[in-house]
Amino acid sequence: MSDQPRKQCAAITKKGTRCKNFALPNSDFCRLHQPKTTEPETPSADDLRAQLIEELDALADRIRAISPNYNPPPFSVRGAAKLVSRTLRAVVGKRPRLLSRLQNAIGSDLLDIDTWKGVWYMLNYTLEYQRDFLKRRITGEYETDEWGMDWEFAQAVQPFFDFLYKMYWRIATDGVENIPEDGHVLLVGDAAGQYPWIGAMVATAVATEHPAMRQVRSLYSSTFAGVPFFSIIFDKTGQAPANIENGEKLLTQDEVVAVYPTASATDGITWEDAARLAAITGAPIVPVAIIGVEGTDTAARVAAGDSTLPPSFAPWMSVLGQLPIPVQWTIAFGRPITDFPIDTAGSEVAATLTLAAEIKEAIAALRKQHLPQ
Amino acid sequence: MTRQTLLITDIAGYWGEKLAQHIPRDEWRVVGIDTRAPDLPDTADTFIKGNLSDADLTGILRREQVTAVCHLPRRPDVPATAKLLAACAATGVEQVVINSSTQVYGASATAPAHLPETYPLPRTAADPTTKLLRDIELLAASYRGALKVAILRMAHIVGATASGPLIALLSQRAPVMLMGFDPLTQVLHEGDAVGALAHAIATAADDTINIAANPPLPFSRIVALAGKIHLPVPHPVAYLRWRVETTNHLRRRTLPLHPDFLRFRLVADVSKMEDDFGFFPARTATEAVQSFAEHDYFRHLSPDQAARVKRVKQMQNAIAGDTE
C-alpha cells in the first residue's frame, strides 16, 4: 500500500464541478476522465455481430430489389450446413486430397541430402549416357550385325513397342511357350493387312512373354524397302526383306523367323514359299493367329460404314484413318508342326502344297478357338 | 626358276601400277600395255605403248609368251574386252583375271540380303555401269572351258590413294544420302583389292568370286567414319538430279553412284571368298573407311599444317603408349 496520499481527479464534470474521484497513480485524472489515445478502438464481438447483421440485411434488400419474386427455402441449420459443405467442395475441390497427398509424399527421404545426391548422380549418368550415345552415332562408333541390326537402337525403341503391346492394344498372348527355347523356328502368321504393327507386336510378345525372351526376325514385304524410314526401322531392329534366300540364311543361323504370307510372290513370301522354307531347313513351324486386329484398320471400317467409330475418323481424314484404333487383340501360338509331308510320288510341289494347306488349317483352327463367344 | 609372263592392261592406271608393284618378280615377268608409260620406270619389265582396240594383241601375246592376263581397264569397255579374250583363247593363254564390281548385281528391294555369286544378274538396269559390267562378265564367262577366267566382283573401294564412285561421294563436304534410307553397304580397302588380284593370279583361280571386307556397314556409319555429316535429300530429287548429271555429262557430280545404291542394300556373300578362294582381307570395313578418313582429313590441310598435325599425333601416341 502506497504511502503517498491519493490526490483528487483534476477533471471538471458536465455540471461544472470538480470530479470527486481519486486520480489514478502517476496520473492527474481518474479512470473515467483519462485522456483518449490515437490508436483505433478494437470493435467488440457484439459490435462485429451487429455490423454483420446490418450488411446481410442490406444484401438481402438488394437481392429483393433485383429479383422480387425469389423466395428462398425455409431456413434450417442442417440446410445451411449442407449448403456450406457443397460450396466448399465446389470451390476447394480436390485440394484437400491433393494437399494430403503432398504431405504424405514429403517423407523423411526427401529431406535427406543423400537422396538428392543419388538423384543428381543418376541424372548426370543418364545425361552422359545419352550424350555418349549421340556422339557414337555421329562418329560411327557403333556396331551392327551382318543384317544391319543395331542393338542400341532396338533397345531405344523397345519402350514404344512395349507401350503399344501392354497399354494401347492390351494384347493377350496364348501359347507362346510352344516356341522352342533354342534352335531355328519358323513362325507363320496371317497379317490381315496390318503387317507392320502385327510383326512388331508378335516380336514384342515373344521377347516379353517367352521364357527365353527370344529375338524374332520378321521378313518384311519388299514394298516397305522402298518407303522412306520404314526400311531403316526394319533393318535396325533386325528384320530382313522377305525372300526365300533371307529366310533360309536366317534359319540356318538358328534364328526365330516370322513370315506373313501374301498371295503375291512379288510382294513377299507366299504360303508355299513358307512351306518350302521349313522343308529346306527342317525348322519347326509354329502357326500364329492374330485375332481382333481387323478392328484396328480404321480405313477399312470407315469404308464398310462402321457407325461405332467417332466422327473424327471420317473418310476424308485419310491420314488419321490410317492410324490403328486401340482395340484389344489376341495373339495365339499353336503347337509346332514338325512332321513335313512327303509325297509318295516324289513330287516336291505336291508336298509343299500339302504343308501350306496344313499351316492354313492350323491357323484357322487357332482363330476359331480364340474368337470371342 | 622359269618365270611366267603376266600381261597387265592399262598398266599406267592406278590398279595396273599397284598390281605390278605387288606381283613377285621372281615368279612373274610383267608386260604392260597402255597408251602412256607408267610413272615409275620399273613398273613393267616390258612396256608396250598402244591401245587395246588398235594393238595386235595376238602378236603381242605370242611374242611375249604370256601365260596370264590381268584386265584392269580404267573404264569398262566391252569391245576391247571381247578382242582381248578372243586373242587369249587363240594364243593359248592359261588364265584371264577380270576386275569387276559388286555393282554388277544392281541394288533392288527384292534382292537377297547376301548375294551369292550364283544369283542371276539383272537383265535390265537403270545404272549404265551395271549394264556394262554385266555384259563384260557374260562375255568373259563364255570363254570358260577354253581358258581359266577369274572374275573378281569387288565391293566399293576405299583408301588413301584410290579413286572410285564411293570415294568421290565421301570426298564431298557433305556426302549425299537419301532421306529415310540407310542401306547396308560393303567396302574393300584398296590394298586388299590389289591383294585379291594377286591371289587370283597366284592360285590360277577359275571362278567368279565376291571380294569384300567384313562386316557390311550402314551407309550412315560409313559417312560418319569418314568424318563427314551427310546431306539428306528426298529420293525423287536424287533420282532427278542423277538423271540430269548423267544426261548432261556434268563433270562435277553430287551423285557419283546411282541412287539405287544409296536406297537399297547391296551386300555380297563372301563365304566363297573365304572358304574356296582362301582370301581374307587384311583390313576390316571400319579400318578401310578410317584409312580414307585420315587421308581425306589431311587433303584439306596445307603441307605445313599436315606435318604439324602428324607430329602432334605422334606425340599423343607416344604419351598414350607410355601411360599404358
Q: What is the pLDDT of residue B258?
A: 92
Measure A240 CA to nearest chain B CA, in Å: 7
Quote the pTM value.
0.74
DSSP labels, A137-177: HHHT-----TT---HHHHHHHHHHHHHIIIIIS--EEE-GG
- State how far residue A90 is from chain B, nearest Cα, in angstroms: 53
User: What pairing do the DSSP bridges indicate for beta strands A285-291 and A330-333?
Assistant: antiparallel
Q: How far apart are the CA of B294 and the nearest CA of chain A, in angstroms?
A: 14
Q: Which pLDDT score is estimated for A5?
A: 65
pLDDT, mean of residues A167-178: 92
What pLDDT, on a 0 to 100 scale, did the predictor assign at position A304?
53
Which of A222, A226, A228 shows the shortest C-beta gap to B179?
A228
Q: In what order do the strands lie in the sheet with B148-154?
A: B46-49, B28-34, B4-9, B68-71, B95-101, B148-154, B208-211
Task: Return residues 3-32 of B near A (CB < 8 Å).
Answer: none
Residue B175 or A43, more confident? B175
Question: How confident is the model at residue A312, as a pLDDT?
Answer: 43
As a whole number of angstroms, the distance between CA A85 and CA A93 comes to 11
Digit-coded pLDDT (tens) for B229-247: 999 999 999 999 988 888 8
Of residues B210, B79, B70, the one with CA closest to residue B149 = B70
Inform me whether the C-beta atom of residue B175 falls under 8 Å from chain A C-beta atoms. Answer: no
ipTM of the complex: 0.80
Low-confidence ranges of chain B (pLDDT < 70): 1, 251-252, 297-302, 320-324
For position B76, what pLDDT does the model report? 87
Report d(CA A205, CA A171) in Å as an integer.
Answer: 8
Report residue B65 as a C-alpha cell. 609368251
Q: Do A235 and B218 touch (CB under 8 A)?
A: yes
SS (HEC) of B184-208: EECEEEHHHHHHHHHHHHHCCCCCE
Query: What's the grid cell of residue A206?
Result: 515373344
CA quadruple A255, A261, A262, A264: dihedral sign: positive
- pLDDT higher at B294 or A315: B294
- What does the block give as the cell for B203? 592360285
N residues, chain A: 373
State the Cα–Cα distance between residues A177 and B240, nearest whole angstrom: 51
- What is the spatial distance between Cα A325 and Cα A297, in angstroms, rounded to a whole number? 7
pLDDT score recorded for residue A311: 44
Nearest residue on chain B to A134, alpha-carbon basis? B224
DSSP state, residue A312: G
Closest alpha carbon to B163 in B11, B14, B8, B10: B14
Largest Cα span, chain A: 148
Q: Which residue of B has its CA nearest to A228?
A: B180
Nearest to A241 among B113, B218, B234 (CB): B113
* B234 φ/ψ angles, rounded to the nearest 5 degrees: -60, 140
Residue A220 has pLDDT above 60, yes or no: yes
Of the pLDDT bands very low, low, confident and very high (cuts 50, 70, 90), residue A331 is very high
Residue A247 has pLDDT above 80, yes or no: yes
Most A CBs within 10 Å, among B221, B261, B266, B289, to test the A interface = B221
Distance (Å, rounded) from C-alpha A269 to C-alpha B260? 23
Nine-digit cell string for A336: 509346332
pLDDT on residue B324: 46
Q: Searching chain B, which residue's CA lies closest to the CA of residue A231?
A: B181
Give, as one character, the DSSP assignment of residue A74: P
- What cell was used for B39? 610413272
B window 44-83, beta carbon within 8 A of A:
none
Shortest Cα–Cα distance, A147 to chain B (Å) = 7
- Is residue B215 reached through a cis peptide bond, with omega within 30 degrees of 0 on the bond before it? yes
Residue A196: CB atoms within 10 A of its CB come to 17
Which helix (H) or strand (E) element contains residue B156? Answer: strand B156-158
Cell 587384311 locates to: B282
Say yes or no for a CB contact (<8 Å) between B181 and A232.
yes
Neighbours of A309 (CB within 10 A): 14
- Band (A318; pLDDT cuts 50, 70, 90): very low
Structure-model confidence comparison of residues A178 and A113, the more confident one: A178
Interchain contact B265–A (C-beta under 8 A): yes
pLDDT for res B207:
95
Query: Grid coordinates 478392328 are at which residue?
Result: A295
**A44 confidence band (pLDDT: 50, 70, 90):** confident
Specify the DSSP element, H or E, that contains B218: strand B217-218
CA B86 vs. chain centroid, Å, equals 24
The total of other beta-carbon atoms located within 10 Å of residue B224's CB is 22
Distance CA A370, CA A368 (A): 6
Residue for grid cell 529431406:
A111
Interface contact B267, partner A, CB < 8 A: yes
Q: Which residues of A touch B112 (CB under 8 A)?
A: 241, 243, 245-246, 249
Report the chain B residue with the minimal C-alpha distance to residue A265.
B110
Mutate which: A141, A245, A266, A270, vs B, most B CBs within 10 A: A245
| Nearest-angstrom CA–CA distance, B182 and B167 | 17
Q: What is the pLDDT of residue A221?
A: 84
DSSP A72: P
Question: pLDDT category, A56, cuts 50, 70, 90?
Answer: confident
Planar angle of CA B222, B226, B228, nearest 5 degrees: 100
**Nearest alpha-carbon partner for A301 in A313, A284, A283, A316:** A313
Q: Does B112 touch chain A (CB under 8 A)?
A: yes
What value does the mean pLDDT of chain A take?
80
CA atoms of A132 and A116, how far apart (whole Å): 24
* Joined grid coordinates for residue B4: 611366267
pLDDT confidence of residue A230: 87
Instruction: Decide if B218 and A231 are in contact by the 8 Å CB cutoff.
Output: no
Taking only the tens place, the pLDDT of each residue in A258-302 is: 999 876 666 678 898 999 999 889 999 999 998 877 655 555 555
Task: Judge whether B264 is closer than 8 Å to chain A, CB to CB.
Answer: yes
Instruction: Look at residue A330 and give its three-state secondary structure.
Output: strand
Closest partner CB to B180 (pick from A142, A228, A236) = A228
Q: State mean pLDDT over A212-230.
A: 88
Which residues in chain A touch residue B268, judged by CB atoms under 8 angstroms apart? none
Between A335 and A59, where is the model more confident? A335
The closest alpha carbon to B119, from A249, A163, A138, belongs to: A249
Pick among B110, B219, B266 to test the A interface (most A CBs inside 10 A)? B110
Distance CA(A224)–CA(A241), nearest Å, equals 9
Phi, psi for A335 (deg, rounded to 5)? -70, 145
Give the strand pairing for B184-185 and B217-218: antiparallel
On whether any CB of chain A is under 8 Å from the CB of B114, the answer is yes
d(CA B23, CA B25): 6
What pLDDT was estimated at residue B319? 73
Percent over 70 (pLDDT), chain A: 77
Q: Which residue of B has its CA nearest to A136?
A: B224
In this complex, is the C-beta atom of A144 within 8 Å of any C-beta atom belonging to chain B? yes
pLDDT at B195: 96
What is the predicted pLDDT for the residue at B268?
A: 95
| Residue matched to cell numbers 611375249 | B64
- Residue B98 half-sphere exposure toward CB, CA atoms < 13 A: 36
B110 lies within 8 A of chain A by CB: yes
Q: With an 8 Å Cβ cutoff, are A249 and B113 in contact?
A: yes
> DSSP assignment, residue B267?
-
- Greater confidence, A364 or B323? A364
Q: With contact defined as beta carbons under 8 Å apart, do A332 and A343 qualify?
A: no
B179 touches chain A (CB under 8 A): yes
Q: What local confidence, expressed as pLDDT, does residue A210 receive?
A: 93
* Percent of chain A at pLDDT exceeding 90: 24
Does A225 contact B109 at a Cβ distance shorter than 8 Å? yes
Confidence at residue A2, expressed as pLDDT on a 0 to 100 scale: 46
- Checking if the pLDDT of A241 tops 80, the result is yes
Grid coordinates representing A321 are: 484413318
- Contact with chain A for residue B223, Cβ under 8 A: yes
Instruction: Quote the pLDDT of residue A313.
Output: 42
Distances (CA, A) of B263 to A217, A242, B112, B219, B258: 21, 17, 15, 10, 9
C-alpha cell at B136: 563384260
Q: Which of B265, B269, B270 to mutate to test the interface with A (most CBs of A within 10 A)?
A: B265
